[in-house]
Structures are given as structure tokens and as C-alpha cells.
Structure 1
């Protein structure tokens, strides 16, 4: 990596744009970056780091956290100038240009105040073929940072340690303990992965230990379940998860429990066989006793039922006799049914005849069927003669309705004529009033337009008056400020003149201060200066004069601005006075208010113009309509006179005809309704009379047939035959009773005839209860034996199953325990806690120790030259106290031949030892980062502790780094280095911010 050019704008102490040409400085190989304390030497290195990584070095980053852009920005910069860092470098064969602009507060383009400008980054690459820069396409901070980190091959911490060599850090590194050295080396060589390996191994050890304990706990739980299944046949000792012999103990106890359980199973099987045989014998005997008791009970029941059947035999014979009489009566049943039907028909016909006669007039109640039919025919003939009267009555009804309509129309026309005449009587007054209303509204509209035209000028005068009043006050204030500004500017000008005169009086002393021995005088040219003028008390230098001049310029500009502001206010005031006149604001406001109120009233009155015109138009339309209605009503009244006379004449003729046709009835329709009802009643009565006479004849014939049938069947009277007749339900009930008695009697005789049942009756009575008691006791003993056998069998099965599971768990536990032992041994070795790790060195410390050994070897090559072959740095694996070993660092003194700790070195020795260590570390880190060549290095401070000889030796070593075009920058304020190092980059501190100057480089004076 080679730096070519750095440009900083408004960065750190640099208020303006400053440029560093590293190519010119690299031409000398070794260059010095110097300047007074606080001038900004370190800010140059901060700018390089910020351009590459977007952050300043870690030691100074805490000052920029949270608001890095504002912290990096120069307080001397113009508010409108952005903070920017541009770095041009070559890395991995690519020439790149990096531009970084942090977020900053810039003035708003419009108005006052500031706004935040976002941070920006840009990465460009130089195209050698085209001879131009082109963008890489990466603009985000993250993308540019990732790309540069990959090209550089090192992190920001590594870069700051191997390119910006901070000697103070390495001096502390020499005196630090192993823990502190480990932290620094871990950051540089990124050995966190080895620490992660230690953590992962520890985690795996805990995980495998947990799995082993979980497997032991599962095996122990299975053992407890086996102990519960085995009862007292298994005795487990006190075991805990993790015990080495847990699996063997559990499996041994399980084998003993299984053997005991099988012996108990054999005993239970023999007891079950004996109990089953005893239960079978008791069951056979109980069955024989139950069968004997059943046969004896069967014979006793049959004999008791036979006795009951003999007692009920008379009832059965009586039922048979009733059944026989019913069969004879069945021959009379058709005649009985016919007689019942004829009697029901006669009763219905007689009742209907009575109902029909009850509706007839009294004179017709005793007539026969023929008389009633004749009367019905006469009434029907009279009804047919009323048809023409009905049509006449309908015509009379229509005439009456037409006459009523004429009367209503006449009344409506009379009311319409009267209403129209009343409305038309006031027409002239109404029309005059509406015309006057429209004319008044028109006049108000004209006045409103005139008033509206005068409102806007009045409003402008009022606004101008208000502006006039405001400008009067501001003009007075501006006048006072302008006068004060002129006085301040005059006083500043006088002060500047005074200081300038005082400086001119003492200019000889100022020139004498710049004289150097052997250099010619700027005034006389002599290289000798025998009596240079001295500075007097209160001498005014150039900076004081320039400050007074700047104050005068600033105050004069303020006075000019105040004058311009005052003149502008006066012009605005004159324009406002010309617009508003001399009237007061209150008078103008009152005038505008009165004008506005008058315009509102006139506008309100003018708004009635359209409604007034519309109302006049509607009134004229109403006048025309009412005039036409009155004329039409008069014409209709004249036409109705002849029509009314014709209707009255026709109605009188019809009323005379209808009076004769309706008789005593209210109308012809009523008379026709009476005749229709009379015809209907007479027809119904005649039909009912004929039906009653026919039913009486049929009833008489049925009585004769019934008497003949009863006599032939053997009954004295028809009623006797009816009483003997049974219905279907009674017949079925008697037949079922007879059949049941006969069947039961036959079944009883069959039971009594059975030889087995009769023989059982001759034996002594059986005792089933005693036999059942014996059987229950035998069954209970067999059930208990079966339960004991089942329990023993389940115990054997459970123990077999649990033993198999325990064996599988024990087999699965073996690889877990082996894996845990291996992981625990590896974790102990990596953590340095194992007895096999004699030096108790952690894995990360081991890796760092190898790196430290490489660093010590690389540092020794330069330390030997710096110390004149006296000192050598060596790495030590010895333990310090009770701590761990691996990061010891000793120095070997060739003069004494002894090895001692680096903390015993003196100040100067510590400096060149730490410098050698830093350079060696830079070489090792460079190799670790992929061999990226570092063509530009910076060494920060520490040279003040060296004597002249040692400083020469250190500079020789640094000068040797120029091999293969490598440049080294020394950051120091030691005055003697200015004489020894010719190429210099000087930081000059001033009131307007620091500036950079390059001196002593080829091509420059």
C-alpha cells in the first residue's frame, strides 16, 4: 500500500483546504511530520485512517462517538464549506481515490437556520488506458469499507498498529503482563477464533456432560421402575447420575430380579391349577343340585296348575254355550243391519222435513209434497215477470247519479267563479306593489355596485396606513442603530490606526527578531548583526494589527449594512405615506367599516330583485289562469240547464212504473229477493216431504223381514236374537279364553306324565343355596390364584421389557460417555486446566505465543542494529507466578550475558526496543494479512528520550526501511530531528486554523 496524495477541507484544526503530496515526501524516503503541540500533527494521520475506514483511530474515536461529523469538523471553517477528506493511494496494484464527507450542519439555502447534510462516500479507480478516473459503483459507506478492507487485508485496529506506529502503546506492551499482551496481540492477529474454539469446546464439554447425566438419570429412572415392578425382589444401592458403575449395577440387579420373578411365576402357576380343579368339581356338583331343584319345582308347579284348571272347567263350558248362541244369531244379522239402516234413514228424513216446514209460512205448514211443489211453480212464474222492472230500476239509479253530478258541478262552478272574481278584484293593487318592489331592488343593486367599487381603494389606504405606522417605528430604530454602527466603525478605525503606528514605531525590533546568524539582513544585507533592536514593552505585532484591521472591516461592513437598511426603510415609508395620505389609521378603518356596512345593507336589499321579478311573473300567470277559469265556468252553467230538464222528465216516468212493480217491497230488487227465497224454501220443503214418506215405507218393510228371520233362527223375538249376537272382539276374547284353558290343561298333563320329573319328586328336596356357597368359595380361591398368576406373569414381562430398555440405554450411554471423556480432555487441554497441559497454556495463548515468537525474531534484527549488537528480544513460555504461561517477553543483554524482563529497560532503551518491536510486528502482521506491501509507515513520538548516538542508530534503521522505495514518516516535535531529517511536513498553527507546509523535498527549496 502506497499513499500518493491527501486533501483535507474543514477537517480538525484545518479550516481551509490543505494538501499533502506523499509522492514528493516518499522521494526522500524518510520525512518528518512536525509542528507545535496542538497544531494538528495527529489529525493528518486521523484523516488517512478516516478516508480508509470511515472512522478515526480507536484511541481517539471516543471523542467522536455519536456525532463524529460535527467532532471532525473544523471550528475555523466557513459555515458553507463542507468537511471533506480525499485520499489517493495504490493498493493491490489498483490506484484508487477515496472521498469521505461526514454529516455536517450547513446553512439553509432559503431562510435562516441550518439543516443536516447527510454523510457521503465515493470510491473511484484510475483507468491507466483511458487516463481518467472512473467510479467503481460503490457509494454506500458499508460497501466501500468492505471493499477497502479486503484490498488492504487488515482491520482498522491492525492498520493503526502497523502503519501508524504508536510508540507509547509498545512501551506499555513491553512492561505489560501476559493478559494485557494477549489482548493487544489478539486484536492484531484476529485470534478470537481460537478463543471461540476454547468456548466451543467448553460448551461441548458441558453439553456432553449434560447428555451423559441425562442418560444416567434415564437409566436410573428405568431402574426405579424395575424396582417398583419387582417389589421386594430388587434392592438398589444409593446411585446418582454420573457414577461410573451405575450401568453395571443396574443391569446386575435387574438380572437377579428377573430370576426371582420367574420362580414366583412357577409357584403361582401350580396354585392356579389346583384352585381351578377344585372350582370345576364344585361347579359340577352345584349344577346337579340346581337341576334336581328345577325338576322338583316343575312337578309341584304342574300339579298346582292342574288343580286350578279343574276348578275353572265350568266357566269354560259356559263360554262354549254363549259361542253357540252367537253362531245361530249370525243368520239374523243381515236383517238386523237392514232394520237399523232403515230406522236411521227415517229419523234423518223426518228431521229434515220438520226443519224445512218450520221455514214456511203458517198457511203452508200442513201442505203435502204435491201442494208445496205447485206453490213453488207459481212463485217462480211471478219472479220471471220482474226482469223488466229490474232494468228500469237500474236506469233510475243511473239517472239519479247523473242528476247529483250536475248539482255538484253547478256548485263547483259557482265557487270557482266567486273565488276568481274575489282574486281579480285586487289584481291592480297586487301588480303595482310587486312592480314597486322590483324597482326598489334594482336601485339597491346599482348602489351596491358603486359602493363595492369604492371598498378596494379604502382597504388599500388602510393597509398602507398600517404599514406607514409600522415603518415609522422601525425607521427610528434603524436610524439609532446606523448611528451607533457608524460610531463603532469610527472607533475601530481609530484603534487600528493607533496600533499600526505603534507597530511601525517598533518594526525594527520585529525585523531583528527574524535575523539568523550568518544569514543576510533583509534591510541592509549584512550577514553580521552586532546590535539588533530589542522588543519594547507593549510591542504591537503583525497579528494584533491584523486583528484590529479585521475588527474595523467587520464593524464598517455592519455600519454599511445598517445604513442600507435605514435607507430602504425610508423609501418604503415614503411609498406608504403617498398611498395612505395624512389621515389616521383609526379614521381610515372607521371609514372602511362604514362603507362595508352600507355595501352589506344595499347588497342585502339587491338580493330581493330576482325573487320580486319571479313573484310578479307568477302573479301575472295566475291572473290569466283565473280569468280563463271564470269564463269556462259560465259556459258550463249555460249548457247544464237543458240536460237537467231531460233527466227530470225521464226519472218521473220510471218512478211511476216501478211503484206498480215492487208492490209493498222497498224496491224491485227486494221484491225479487223475496220471491227467490220463497221459491227455494218451497222446493226444499217439497223434496223433504217426499223423502220422509219414502223412508217410512222402507222402515215398515225392514220390520217385517227381521221378524221372519228371527223366527226361523229359533229366537222368540228379534230382540233376543240381537242380544245373543256377539261382536268380533267379544267373539275373539271368548275363543282365546277357551283355547288357553285347553292348551294349559294339555301342557300340565304332559309335565305330570314325564318320568324324570316324577322321579325327582319322589327324591328328598334339593338345597341349591348350600351348593352355590361351596361353588362361590371355590371360585373366589381360583380367582385369587389367577390374579396372583397374572401379577407374577406381568412382573416377569415388565422386568423383561424394562431390562431390555435398560440394556439399550446402557449401550447408548457408552458412546456418550466416551465422547464426553474425549471432549472433556480436549477442552481441558485448550483451556490450560488439564494435568496433561504442563505449562497451563490456553489454545489462544499458544497461537499468540507463536506469533509473539515471530514478532520477537523480526524485532531482534532491528534491535541489534539500534543497540549496537547489545540487546536481543526472546520469547519465553515460562509461567509467571500462579498465572498461565506463553506470552513472556525477555531481553538478552550481550554485555552481561543475562536474560532479564523488558520492564527493566531504561527510557531510551524502552523506546528503541518498542520501535523494533513495532517494526517487527508490522512485518509479521503484513505477512499474516496476505503479504500486502506497506510502502508508507508513520512512527508517532518517543524520540525525545534518545541521546545523539542512539538517535543516529535509530535513524539509520529507519532509513534502511527505504529499501524497495518504502517511505517512513516520523511524527515528532523534537527540534534536533529538523536538522537530521531534511524532508519535512510542517503543521503551522494560526488564528484562522492550521496550515501544512512541505519543505526539503526534491524540487522544492
Structure 2
């Protein structure tokens, strides 16, 4: 990283814009940044840090509002521009912090947000060399600069900007802080990543081993569950094991083998018990089957006797059923005639009821009319209906004419309204058109007047601003004139007091010289060694300190007077310019004139803005005029044509109304008369048809009476009613026949059962004890089932144990390589983490690499430290533990060549600590620069610390710093030491004044 240019504006103590050319200062390789206390030397370093990181070093960090200079003009924005080269890229960073500025209108202030701009110099741009903008985002710029520099703001301030009081921080830092900085500079994060990766691999392999052990233990518990509460399981219980514990695999496999052996022994015992219970069960079943057969035959023979007695008791009932079936069979020949008679009777009754309903709807005079008379009346009414067809057409035409006439009347009223409205609107058209034209002319005149007023308004406002500034500056000039007179008086008083003290001191200078005389030492004036009568100081004697204080007070007072003169001259120049712009016109009068112009301009501008709208209104009114005129003419033409058509329709309607009055004969309309006639025709037709249907049904009933009487006589029944009573429905007849057939089948079965010889022999034997035999079978079955269950359980237990043992064996084989891998990875991870017994110094891998880097840094620093300390001190790295139980770290010790002992850097004196820290910082920069992929640090700043060095050591330190130019590196020294101004030719001086600090470059060739 190399700095080229720094430009600050209104930043810290710098009230204006100051530019620092680092390229010119860096040409000598070593430059001095000096100035009085509080002038702003450290603010230069703050600006560099703020340009890079958007924040100042931590010790001076506060609100961004505090970065703004109190000496800056209110409208001058605070900004920092830094141009540098880093990682081979030339960049320009511009930062404006958040700040308050006066409002552009009105009183008070407004807050401007922080802004950042990053640009890159491109030598081969499209139009030649140019600065190419990269980003305006605070976050993007911060990330880009952070990646290029490779260090945070705190690390940058510790390695590049060594601020006041922080020289020894890195030298005396603890191992952790020193390791963080070195790790960032040397990019050793990959070694930490290796440690983390090994730790992850160890955790992963440990999880896999524990998972495998858990799987083995899960299988062991399942084996224990399958083994059950057996003597083997009780005598050899499953040991208590923890996943990850040594010996899990062997213990589980050994215990599984014992469980399998016990399960096979229990299977052999269960199989022998099954064979014994099967034989007992077979004998019990044979005995039970014999008893069941004897019992069955005895019960069947007894049931056959009971059924025979029951059949004999129901013999009369069977005779009645046979007789009922016979009569039903005889009545089957009469049934069709009976059905016909019943149907004819139902039809006659229905026809008579229908005829009565139809006659009830006829007029009273037609209730008893015969069927032929009703038919004649129906024919007459149908002829009358035929004659009304023409009248119905005339009625429909009359309705259509009425509808059309109503529509014509509605259209006439609408056209009359249109004609009246159009005529009324057209009457005032000329006046409206002239009003629109006048409005357009007024708007155009107002727009022209607004342009003239705008030309007058701008100089009036400038004159008002000048008058206000004139009045303000007049008061300031008067106040500053009074202040200048007071400063001049104070300067004169201070000068008089200083001259008085100086004169008194000169009168008593002999006393001062006499006070320095010592017996035997030569006098500084005469050279004599005898001092018989040395002068004595009087009561009014003034010492050198009092004179210097008075002189400083006089200089300060004179500086205040000069500053007041300068400020008064500047204000007078501004007042003259403001008076030239405003004249002698009072500001109130100018303000009233401006307000009047603004009011007139706003009114004219508002009126002139309506020109377009006025033209649009005129165009709209002209279009409406044409529409109204066209509507008036069209409505008049339609009204004339409509009058003749309405007269023709009225004549046609009158003729149709005369025709309809003849056809309706008192009805409301022809349709009403037609509907009434159609209703009468329908009633007469239905009554005649119902009378005919009733007569036909009566004839069919008489014929059915004769037929049913003849059929009943031939079938042997005394009357048709007797035959009807004998008829049975088919379902009932089938049911009675089925009952009779069942009785016959039952008689045959009972006879066959009673005649069976085996049944007769069984009935003669004693009763069988079936319950006892069945109980014996059930007991044998239960015993066999229990034995079979024990056998199946034992067999299933053996199968499950074999399967689980096989699974455990496979899991153990899989777990073996995993456990070996875990042991290997765990050993590597422990070694890298510093927890292994093989790692004697308990150093982590990253710490080991950083220790090697720190050895390089110490070696590079020792070369310069030896030169600075005249060969006395040497820096060495120490990897000893920092405490009794701690790990070896990144320690730094110093070897004292005078005593030959190695001691801690905290034992160095202030001056020794300074040049040791300086040598370490320079050595760190060398190693970082040489490290491939590291950050090149071409610019270093050393803030204070040289005052603690004696003259010889200072020469040696400067020789070391001067040698840095061989590596093209620049070192900036920030110091108050006066000797350095004579020793360092390239200087940047910061000068302070009441108006703010300024920088001066001085480069002696």
C-alpha cells in the first residue's frame, strides 16, 4: 500500500481545503510531520484512516458530526479525498461524513447523509487515461478496501498508523491478540480451517462410531427381549455398556452366542412335550367320537317316535286341507266369468260417476238433456266459433295500431322537447362565442405580462439579498470594530507590561549570573575563580520565566489584534460589495417591492396557464353548436313525416272498432267471447262422451251376469256367490298344497327311521356319557395347544436370535473400519489442536505456523534492533507456555548481550521499548511484504516516541529508518523533537491559527 495524495476540507482543525502530496514527501523515503501541540498532526493520520475505513482510530472515534471543523464556513462541506495504490490498483476514495448545514431557505440547519465514492485510475480507457467510478455504496467500498488491504481498521492502526502511546501494544500484546493480527497479515486462516476440518472429521467419525455402538446395543437389547426370562438370561445378564466405550463389540457378540445356545436347548424340550401331548390328544378324540355317534343314534330314534305321535294327532286337520283344495279346484272353471263380471261392474260405476260430474258442470237447463241433444248443441257452437276467426284478426290489428299510435305520440313529444331545447341553446350562441374568445385573449395577455414580471423579479430579489447582507454586515463591522479596539488596547497593555519586565530583568541580570557562580569554578563573564562580592537580587527583580510569560502574553494579544484587523478588512470588503449591489434603498422597501412583484407574477402566471383550457372550451362549444343545429333540423323533418302516418292509422282503427263491436256481442273482447264458446263446446263434448260410455258399460254388465250364473251351475255350485267363495288365490293354494306334501314326506321319513336296525340297537344300549368325553378332549387339546405354542415360540426365538446375531455380526464388521478411522482421525485432530500427548508444547497447528512467521519477524526486527541498541538487544520468539496449565503460544523475549540473559520485553525502559517496538513493526512489514500473497506495506507512520531517545540512539534509529529507502518504503515520523527538523530534510509542517490549521511542504534537496 502506497499513499499518493490526501485532500481534506473542513476536517478536524483544518477550516479550509488542505492538500498533502505524499509522492513528493516519499521521494526521500523518510519525512517528518511536525507542528505545535493541537495543530493537527494526528488529524492527518485520522484523515488517512477515515479515507480508508470511514472511521478514525478507536481512541479518537466519536460521532461523525465531531469530524467537522469548527473553523469551517457554514456552507463548506466536510470531505476527505485519499489517492493510493494497493494490490497494483490506483484508487481514489472520497468520503463526506454525516454533517449539519444551513438550510437553503429559512433559518435552522438540515442534516446531510454520509456519502462515499470509489474510483479507479484506468490507463487504457476508451478515451485515454481516466478515473472510472466503481461504487457509491458505503458497504461495497468498505468490503473492497478491506479485501485489498487484508486487515481491519484496528489492525491497520496498529501496524501502519502507530498512534500516540501505542508503540508497545504489539510488542507487549498477549498471545491471542498477537496471533489474530499475524493470522490476518499472513493469511493463516487455512491452517485454522485444517484444524476445524480435522475436528469436524473427528466429530463425524465419533458420531459414526457411537451410532454403530448404539446399533449394536440396540440389537443386544432386542436379543435380550427375544431371549426372555430364561435361566440363561438370568444367569448371564446383558452387561451395562455405553456407546463409544471400548469392548462393546466383543461383549455384545459373546452375549448373543450365549443367548442362542440357551434358546436351542429350550426348543428341544418344547419339541419333546409336543410329541407326548399329540398322542394323548389322539386317544381322547377317538373315545369322544364313539360316544358322540352312540348319542346321536339314540337321540334320532327318540325324535322319530315323538314325530310319529305328533303326525297321528293332526290327521283330522289333513282331511280338511284336502277338502279345501278339492273345492278350489272345482271353482277354477268359474273364476274367469266371476272376474269378467266384477270388471264390468267397476266400469259401469266409474262411467256413471264420470257422467254425473260432466252434467254437474252444464247449465241447469241442460242437466237432464239426452245424449243426442248434447251432441247437436256442440255442433252449433263449433259453427259459431268458426265465424269468429276474421274478428280475432281484426282485434289483433287494432291492438297493433294502438301500440304504434302510442309510440308515435312518444316520439312526437321527444322531438318537440329536442326542438325547444335546441332553439333555446342556439338563441344565445353568439354571446357565448364572444365570451370564450375574450377569455382566450385575457389568458394570452396574462402570460405575456408574467414573462415581463419574471424579468423584473430576478434583479429585485438579488438586490433584496444584497440589502439584507449589507444590513447584517453593517452590524458585524461595528461589533468587530469595537472588538478590534479592545484587542489593540490589550496588545498595547501587554507590550508595555513585557517591556517593563524586560527592563527590570536587565537591571538585575548580574544577580542571575551571580546565582550560577560556584566556588572554584570560573565566572562566565570575567573567567575568574574568586567571587568576593557576588551581586544580590533586589525586591523588584524579575526572572527569565516571568519575562517569557509576559512576552508570550504580548504575542498572543498582538496575534488577536492582527486577526481582528484581518477579519475587519474582510468584512469591509464584503460590505462594500453588498452596498454596491443594493444601493441605499432600505431592505424593507425592497422586500415590499419583491413581494408585490411575486404576487403579480403568480397571479399573471396562474391566469396565463388557463390559455389551453380556454381554447379547449371554445372548441367544445363550437362542436356543441353544430350538434344542436343538426338535432333541430332532424327533429323538424321527423315531425312532418309522422303527422300523415298518424292520420292514416286513425282511420283504419275506426273501421276496425265498428267491426269488433258487432263480433263481441257484449263480451270484453273477441278473445273473451271465443274463450267462452270454447269452454261451452268442451263441456258439451265431455258430457255427451260420458253418457255414451255409461250406456256401453251397463250393456257389458248385463251380459257378464248371464255368463257367471251358467258357469257356476255347470261346476256344481248352488250360486255364483258360492263359487266365488270357493276360489283360492294361487299363493294360498300353493301354501296348502306344500303343507300337505310336507306331512306326507314326514310320515315316510319317520317310518324309515323307526325301521333302521342300527338305530333300534343303539336305543337298546345304555345312554352315552358325551360330556365327560368332550371334557377329556378339551383338556387334551389345551395341553397340545400350549405345547405347540411353546414349541413355536422357541422356534421363532431361535430364528429371531439367529437373525439378530447375524445383524450384530455384520454391524461389528462394519464398525471395525469406522473405529480404526476414528482412532486415526482423532489422533491427527488432537495433534493439530495441541491436546495430544505427542504434542509436547501443546501448540495448535495455526499457532505453530504463526510461531514460524513470528520467528521470521523477530529475526528481521533483530537486525534493526541491534543497530539501534548498538548491538545490545536481540528479539527472539518464545514458544514456552504462558502459564502452568496453558499451551505454548506466541511469546516475544529480548536477549541482553551485556548480561547474556533472556528476559521479558516488559522489562525494557521507555526509550528501549520505543526502538524495540519500532524495529518489530519494521520487521513485521518486511516479512509481510516478502510473504507470497501477503499485503505489501510501503508506507508507515510513527507517531511520537522519539523524545525518549538520547542523541546517539536517535542517530542510530534514523540510520535504520533511512535504510528503508532501499526497499522502496516510506516512513513518516510524527514528532515534536527539534533535532529531527535538522536531521530529516523532507518535512510536512502543520501550522495553527485562529482561522484553522494549514499544512506546508518543505523538501530540501
TM-score, normalized by length of structure 2? 0.68
Aligned to 1:46: 46
User: Which string of whole-angstrom CA distances, capped at 9 and with x for unpartnered residues, describes residues 317-339 of structure 1?
Assistant: 45445545555565666777788
User: Which string of whole-angstrom CA distances, capped at 9 and with x for unpartnered residues, describes residues 773-816 of structure 1?
Assistant: 11111111111112222222232233233333333443444344
Match of 1:961, SS?
helix
Partner Cα distance (1:178, 1:684) in 2: 129
Match of 2:168, SS?
helix
| TM-aligned CA deviation for residue 957 of structure 1 | 1.8
Partner Cα distance (2:114, 2:485) in 1: 46
Residues 823 and 565 of structure 1: CA distance in aligned 2, closer, same or farther (over 3 Å) = farther
Partner Cα distance (1:164, 1:877) in 2: 28
Partner Cα distance (1:159, 1:349) in 2: 125
Aligned ranges for residues 250-269 of structure 1 at < 5 Å? 250-269=252-271
2:224 equivalent to 1:227? yes
Partner Cα distance (2:938, 2:367) in 1: 155
Aligned to 2:952: 949
Residues 184 and 809 of structure 1: CA distance in aligned 2, closer, same or farther (over 3 Å) = same
Residues 913 and 376 of structure 1: CA distance in aligned 2, closer, same or farther (over 3 Å) = closer
User: Which string of whole-angstrom CA distances, capped at 9 and with x for unpartnered residues, describes residues 806-857 of structure 1?
Assistant: 3344344434443443344334333333322222223332222111111111
Aligned to 2:588: 569
Residues 537 and 704 of structure 1: CA distance in aligned 2, closer, same or farther (over 3 Å) = closer
Partner Cα distance (2:709, 2:367) in 1: 32
Aligned to 2:606: none
2:235 equivalent to 1:236? no
**Alignment counterpart, residue 545 of structure 1, candidates 562, 584, 592:** 562
Is the 8 Å Cα contact of residues 286 and 775 (structure 1) preserved in structure 2?
Answer: yes
Is the 8 Å Cα contact of residues 895 and 903 (structure 2) preserved in structure 1?
Answer: yes
Aligned ranges for residues 454-853 of structure 1 at < 5 Å? 489-490=477-478, 492-493=480-481, 496=484, 540-547=557-564, 549-550=566-567, 554=571, 567-570=586-589, 698=703, 705=710, 709-710=713-714, 728=730, 731-853=733-855
Aligned ranges for residues 199-214 of structure 1 at < 5 Å? 199=196, 201-202=198-199, 205=202, 208-209=205-206, 211-214=208-211
Partner Cα distance (2:361, 2:1002) in 1: 156
| TM-aligned CA deviation for residue 215 of structure 1 | 4.1
Aligned ranges for residues 447-458 of structure 1 at < 5 Å? none
Is the 8 Å Cα contact of residues 102 and 110 (structure 2) preserved in structure 1?
Answer: yes
Partner Cα distance (1:714, 1:751) in 2: 44
| TM-aligned CA deviation for residue 27 of structure 1 | 3.5
Is the 8 Å Cα contact of residues 74 and 102 (structure 2) preserved in structure 1?
Answer: no
Residues 206 and 25 of structure 1: CA distance in aligned 2, closer, same or farther (over 3 Å) = same
Match of 2:267, SS?
helix
Partner Cα distance (1:391, 1:535) in 2: 150
Partner Cα distance (1:205, 1:292) in 2: 84
| TM-aligned CA deviation for residue 282 of structure 1 | 1.4
Residues 39 and 130 of structure 1: CA distance in aligned 2, closer, same or farther (over 3 Å) = farther
2:986 equivalent to 1:990? no
Deviates more, 1:286-295 or 1:831-840: 831-840
Aligned to 2:37: 37
2:137 equivalent to 1:120? no
Is the 8 Å Cα contact of residues 351 and 693 (structure 2) preserved in structure 1?
Answer: no
Match of 1:541, SS?
helix
Is the 8 Å Cα contact of residues 86 and 97 (structure 1) preserved in structure 2?
Answer: no
Residues 978 and 329 of structure 1: CA distance in aligned 2, closer, same or farther (over 3 Å) = closer
Match of 1:171, SS?
coil
**Alignment counterpart, residue 940 of structure 2, candidates 918, 927, 937:** 937
Q: Number of matched residues? A: 842
**Alignment counterpart, residue 171 of structure 1, candidates 168, 171, 179:** 168
| Superposition RMSD in Å | 6.3
| TM-aligned CA deviation for residue 488 of structure 1 | 7.2
User: Which string of whole-angstrom CA distances, capped at 9 and with x for unpartnered residues, describes residues 625-678 of structure 1?
Assistant: xxxxxxxxxxx9xxx9xxxxx99xx99xx99xxxxxxxxxxxxxx9xx999999
Residues 761 and 45 of structure 1: CA distance in aligned 2, closer, same or farther (over 3 Å) = same
| TM-aligned CA deviation for residue 951 of structure 1 | 1.4
Aligned ranges for residues 64-83 of structure 1 at < 5 Å? 64=61, 67=64, 70-83=65-78
Partner Cα distance (1:928, 1:159) in 2: 17
Partner Cα distance (1:484, 1:496) in 2: 18
2:141 equivalent to 1:139? no
Residues 38 and 824 of structure 1: CA distance in aligned 2, closer, same or farther (over 3 Å) = farther
Partner Cα distance (1:187, 1:386) in 2: 122
2:90 equivalent to 1:101? no
Residues 183 and 244 of structure 1: CA distance in aligned 2, closer, same or farther (over 3 Å) = same
Residues 313 and 559 of structure 1: CA distance in aligned 2, closer, same or farther (over 3 Å) = same
Match of 2:956, SS?
helix
Residues 485 and 901 of structure 1: CA distance in aligned 2, closer, same or farther (over 3 Å) = closer
Residues 732 and 677 of structure 1: CA distance in aligned 2, closer, same or farther (over 3 Å) = closer
Partner Cα distance (1:789, 1:119) in 2: 90
Deviates more, 1:97-106 or 1:484-493: 484-493
Residues 749 and 557 of structure 1: CA distance in aligned 2, closer, same or farther (over 3 Å) = same
Aligned to 1:888: 891
Partner Cα distance (1:995, 1:156) in 2: 26
| TM-aligned CA deviation for residue 880 of structure 1 | 4.4
Where in structure 1 are there 5+ consecutive unaligned residues?
Answer: 399-474, 514-531, 579-635, 641-645, 656-669
Partner Cα distance (2:149, 2:379) in 1: 135
**Alignment counterpart, residue 86 of structure 1, candidates 53, 76, 81:** 81
Partner Cα distance (1:503, 1:360) in 2: 147
Aligned to 1:643: none
Aligned to 1:216: 213
Partner Cα distance (2:196, 2:382) in 1: 130
Partner Cα distance (2:155, 2:347) in 1: 134
Match of 2:134, SS?
coil
Residues 500 and 330 of structure 1: CA distance in aligned 2, closer, same or farther (over 3 Å) = closer
User: Which string of whole-angstrom CA distances, capped at 9 and with x for unpartnered residues, describes residues 598-621 of structure 1?
Assistant: xxxxxxxxxxxxxxxxxxxxxxxx
Is the 8 Å Cα contact of residues 377 and 684 (structure 2) preserved in structure 1?
Answer: no
Aligned to 1:917: 920
The structure with the larger Rg is: 1
Match of 2:892, SS?
strand
Is the 8 Å Cα contact of residues 32 and 978 (structure 1) preserved in structure 2?
Answer: yes
